[in-house]
């Protein structure tokens, strides 16, 4: 059975963009693949974090994964920082990564511009992401398009390591879903819907209340044309709402255009809001049940035990091949 894996970084709150870009894909694929889903908490440390906020968000994320329908019997669900072999593997991989490669990453270039003093972790973070993937011999990595470049770096590092030290890693591939590859901000549909967005009305959080969800969608920026037609360049707002609707209702863009032919934007937005509410409310209910339960800890204990065992074997194999022996 082929293996898939993905992770989400607990910075800011989980959004509808994360759900459509990563979690929903994992849910659809969990029956066909051996699946791994983790909270990438070590990645959160690349920018300053308040420890108590981070602690709360980690548990929120884990509970939300399961509430979203990620089945613990079909997925290995774990917390990255509980697997100490992953940063150890990352160090070995860093020594097979060129500075030029890491500094060319778009996310590094963008984020390093935002801070006058940024951490070395911001530069080496894609190598840690490579370790997250490579330790478990993953075939496919379902991510949003913004992470594609990082998965490609993981491939390059794996190919180089295999060439220098002998066959060690499976070469992974990014899996980008056709619909909803990049859900945009509702107020500024040229930007991605992002957890750290300053304008809260442009972002739907997984734990938003029904009224807030409806208000945000009804207030989404559109154009003056009044036709539900897909054109990401000329009509980014409507196209974004169509992407959201397509992903949640599992419809094609053509089907949506036919469904809303002659309808005004108000009618369409209301349907999009209904679809989001129908998706999120049951998830929120299950999330509240799980948050303080033993069930959650039981799932995580099982997940991390397996993950550590796999990572330990990979670390030992790599270290030996690299000459790290008595």
Task: For residues 48 and 196, give the distance between their C-alpha atoms in angstroms, rounded to a whole number.
Answer: 13
CB of 125 to ligand TYM, least distance (A): 7
Q: Quick one: angle between helices 265-291 and 294-321, nearest 10? A: 90
Distance in Å from the first CA to the final CA of the chain? 36
Rule CB under 6 A: say whether 9 interacts with ligand TYM. yes
Catalytic residue among 74, 182, 191, 195: 195
Residues 145-164 contacting ligand TYM, CB under 6 A? 146-147
102 versus 263: smaller Cβ distance to ligand TYM: 102
306 catalytic residue (yes or no): no
Q: Do the Cβ atoms of 37 and 25 come closer than 8 Å?
A: no
Task: For residues 57 and 96, give the distance between their C-alpha atoms in angstroms, rounded to a whole number.
Answer: 33
Q: Do the Cβ atoms of 139 and 29 come closer than 8 Å?
A: no
119 versus 227: smaller Cβ distance to ligand TYM: 119
Beta-bridged to residue 174, according to DSSP, are 141
> CA-CA distances (angstroms) from residue 180 to 117, 208, 228?
34, 20, 17
47 versus 263: smaller Cβ distance to ligand TYM: 47
Beta-bridged to residue 38, according to DSSP, are 7, 78
195 catalytic residue (yes or no): yes
Rule CB under 6 A: say whether 141 interacts with ligand TYM. yes
Rule CB under 6 A: say whether 6 interacts with ligand TYM. yes
183 versus 311: smaller Cβ distance to ligand TYM: 183
Catalytic residue among 74, 111, 306, 321: 111
CB of 261 to ligand TYM, least distance (A): 27
CB of 313 to ligand TYM, least distance (A): 19
Contacts of 119 (CB under 8 A, 6+ apart): 45, 46, 47
Mapped to the 3 state alphabet, what secondary structure does 252-265 carry? CHHHHHHHCCCCCH
Which of 74, 182, 270, 321 contacts ligand TYM by CB under 6 A?
182
Which of 4, 37, 40, 246 contacts ligand TYM by CB under 6 A?
40
Residues with active-site annotation: 111, 192, 195
Q: Which residues bind ligand TYM (CB under 6 A)?
A: 5-9, 17-18, 20-22, 40, 43, 129, 132-133, 141, 143-144, 146-147, 182-183, 192-193
């Amino acid at each position: 059975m082929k293996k898939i894996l993905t992770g989400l970084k607990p910075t800011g709150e989980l959004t509808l963009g994360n759900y459509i870009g990563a979690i929903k894909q994992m849910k659809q694929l969990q029956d066909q693949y051996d699946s791994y889903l983790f909270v990438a908490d070590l990645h959160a440390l690349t920018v300053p974090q308040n420890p108590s906020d981070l602690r709360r968000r980690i548990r929120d994320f884990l509970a939300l994964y399961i509430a979203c329908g990620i089945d613990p019997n079909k997925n290995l669900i774990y917390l990255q920082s509980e697997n100490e072999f992953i940063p150890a593997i990352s160090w070995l991989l860093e020594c097979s990564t060129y500075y030029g490669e890491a500094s060319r990453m778009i996310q590094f270039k963008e984020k390093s511009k935002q801070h006058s003093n940024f951490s070395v972790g911001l530069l080496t973070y894609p190598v840690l992401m490579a370790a997250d993937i490579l330790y478990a011999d993953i075939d496919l990595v379902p991510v949003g398009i913004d992470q594609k470049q990082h998965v490609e770096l993981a491939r390059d590092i794996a190919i180089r390591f295999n060439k220098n030290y002998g066959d060690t890693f499976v070469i992974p591939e990014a899996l980008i879903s056709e619909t909803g590859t990049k859900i945009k901000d509702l107020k500024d549909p040229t930007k991605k819907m992002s957890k750290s967005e300053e304008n809260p009305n442009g972002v739907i959080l997984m734990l938003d209340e029904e009224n807030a969800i409806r208000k945000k969608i009804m207030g989404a920026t559109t154009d003056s044309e009044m036709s539900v037609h897909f054109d990401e360049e000329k009509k980014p707002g409507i196209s974004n709402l169509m992407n959201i609707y397509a992903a949640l209702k599992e419809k094609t863009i053509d089907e949506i255009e036919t469904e809303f032919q002659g309808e005004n934007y108000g009618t369409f937005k209301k349907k999009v809001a209904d679809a989001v509410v129908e998706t999120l409310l049951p998830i929120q209910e299950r999330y509240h049940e799980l948050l303080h339960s033993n069930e959650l800890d039981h799932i995580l204990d099982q997940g991390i035990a397996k993950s550590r065992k796999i990572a330990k074997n990979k670390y030992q194999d790599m270290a030996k091949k690299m000459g790290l022996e008595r």
